[in-house]
């Protein structure tokens, strides 16, 4: 379901996330724990580091969309 998305499996696929972390621990991998990157996303079945601003434009676009919807509701209410 989230195979090619930019969402973290930590919340959407918690069992998968735990399997990955446990597998890494058993194999002695420590990249995830040692990474100093602030934001990580799950994309194409792997953890990827992205900039802190990665979701900024998406959040701005959603806020604008919600604002325009609210404005439209207010306009429609005034017409009643």
Band the pLDDT of 76: cuts 50, 70, 90: low
pLDDT of residue 6: 52
Instruction: Yes or no: say if 32 and 42 are a contact pair by the CB < 8 Å rule.
Output: no
Domain boundaries, the chain: 9-79
Q: What average pLDDT does range 8-36 have in this prediction?
A: 74
pLDDT digit string (tens) for 40-72?
887 887 778 889 999 999 999 999 888 888 777
Is pTM, for the whole model, over 0.75?
no
CA dist 40 and 52 (Å) reads: 9
pLDDT of residue 80: 59
């Amino acid at each position: 379901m989230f195979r090619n998305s930019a969402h973290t499996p930590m919340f959407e696929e918690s069992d998968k996330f735990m399997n990955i972390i446990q597998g890494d621990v058993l194999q002695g991998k420590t990249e995830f724990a040692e990474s100093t990157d602030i934001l990580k996303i799950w994309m194409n079945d792997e953890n990827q580091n992205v900039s802190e601003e990665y979701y900024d434009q998406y959040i701005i676009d959603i806020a604008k969309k919600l604002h325009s919807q609210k404005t439209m509701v207010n306009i429609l209410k005034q017409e009643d």
